[in-house]
Chains A and B, each alone.
Chain A
Amino acid sequence: MKELNTNTKNKPTPVDEEKRDFLFITTAGLAIAGGGAFAWSMIDTMNPSKDVLALSTTEVDLSPLEEGQSLTVMWRGKPIFIRHRSESEISSADNVSVDDLPHKETDESRVKNPKWLVVVGVCSHLGCVPLGQKVGDTKGEYGGWFCPCHGSHYDTSGRIRKGPAPLNLEIPPYEFVSDDIIRIG
């Protein structure tokens, strides 16, 4: 019979130092990797779920929209501004020197068909919905939209012209399915 070493605990056994050998390190590494993978699978539950992702396309019929009128539709829980622009609105958007803009984009690059402007109606400052869709709304100094939260003015191309917002109104991915119907998303 071996003598039982009852004094182990009193001596400062350098267990930690001595035994950090291969087995210890691989075991700990593996445990951390497994724990990490598990933690991610749980955190991932908070990402958009399949039903939310499935709702990411919307088709809109543009035919009832007269020149100068606007339409707001929902896409991914956000308002999409669709404006049937008049000739004067198109030209005012076109006749701006791009270099003077805070966020340099030509009107041409922001539309698929100049008659139709499609933008996400969320101010690039802090996420409010700008005014300008309804008939009585103020449209801001540039005839586009005006964000009441912190006073950002957008032009008829949805570009930021004045105020704290850093970027133009975002263009959602969309395509013309036919002449009058667009699919957003």
Chain B
Amino acid sequence: MKVMQSKLHIIVLLLTILFPLSVFSAGDKVDLMEQKWPFNGIFGRFDNTALQRGFKVYREVCAACHGIRHVSYRDLKDIGFSSDEIKSIAGEYEIKDGPNDEGEMFQREALPSDKFVGPYENDNVARVANNGAYPPDLSLIVKARAGGADYLYSLLNGYKEYPEDYEASEGMYYNTFYPGNQIAMPSPIEDDIVEYDDGTEATHTQIAKDVTAFLAWTAEPELEERKSLGVKTLFFLALITIMLLGVKRKVWKDLD
């Protein structure tokens, strides 16, 4: 009985302390526009058609300023492009190679084995071209922001007019979800800014959703494999742990 009481004490103590603490920490956060992504959850999978639409958005809109330098053209196979399609996509990019036998650098068409060619030669060129604001590489952006895909989706949908009597800086835009609310990137998407090959209506939210899904894939291309292997592994471990409990009970039985 004594033991029970002291345990109860502890639980009550923990609750009284941690409850008000959790209230503190819930403070100044903006609620993100949470979506039901198909890649969430333990059985999460990417929707390849959405990823391909998102890739189109990336290529036609984002790629003007943002690279995805950790992704190779050959990786597009994972989202359903054929080898020939990948080759022709890669062929649209020019990459600097060399030096050749004459010791000179030269331009050549990118190969599937190359990484995606970014829009700028180096970071400083990127800054100069964008009023000093560096457009970050997008390959890891979903992993590199608190809130992940929901944050990115919210950001793309979060552009508003400046509220009245807000001291706006020049060349900055107002975004509800951006930390500090002033972002150097103008709203990148609008209705019908791309035309989808599969006939999906290219609304603002649809585009935001597709490109977010695509960037979730570039950040975690291993996600599907990870989750399916995870389910199998957990099933195996649960099974063997139950069996080990049986073994343990059997061995210990003769002590009782």
Contacts and interface: CB of A to CB of B under 8 A. Distances in A.
Interface of A: 2, 4-5, 8, 13, 15, 19, 23-24, 26-27, 30-31, 34, 50-51, 54-55
A24 B236 CA distance: 16
Contacts of B251: 15, 19
B256 to A, nearest CB: 7
A24 B240 CA distance: 11
B243 interface: yes
B244 A34 contact: no
A54 B243 contact: no
Nearest to B249: A23
A172 B236 CA distance: 44
B113 interface: yes
22 contacts: A4-B255, A5-B254, A8-B254, A8-B255, A15-B251, A15-B254, A23-B243, A23-B247, A23-B250, A24-B247, A27-B240, A27-B243, A27-B244, A30-B240, A31-B240, A34-B236, A34-B237, A34-B240, A51-B72, A54-B72, A54-B74, A54-B113
Interface in B224-256: 236-237, 239-240, 243-244, 246-247, 250-251, 254-256
Given A27-B246, A31-B240, 11 more contacts: A5-B256, A13-B254, A19-B251, A23-B243, A23-B247, A27-B240, A30-B236, A30-B239, A34-B237, A50-B74, A54-B113
B112 A54 contact: yes
Contacts of A27: 240, 243-244, 246-247
Nearest to A21: B250
A4 B254 contact: no
Question: Is the contact region of chain A dominated by helix, strand, or loop, or is it mixed?
Answer: helix
A47 to B, nearest CB: 16
A15 B250 CA distance: 10
Contacts of B72: 51, 54
Contacts of B256: 2, 4-5
Nearest to B75: A50
B9 to A, nearest CB: 31
Nearest to A6: B255
A23 B250 CA distance: 10
A73 B246 CA distance: 63
A138 B254 CA distance: 82
Contacts of B236: 30, 34
A144 B109 CA distance: 36
A13 B251 CA distance: 11
Nearest to B256: A2
Contacts of B254: 5, 8, 13, 15
Nearest to A56: B113
A55 B74 CA distance: 11
B255 A5 contact: yes
B45 to A, nearest CB: 21
A26 B74 contact: no
A88 to B, nearest CB: 27
Contacts of A8: 254-255
A31 B112 CA distance: 41
A19 B72 CA distance: 55
B228 to A, nearest CB: 14
A35 B173 CA distance: 55
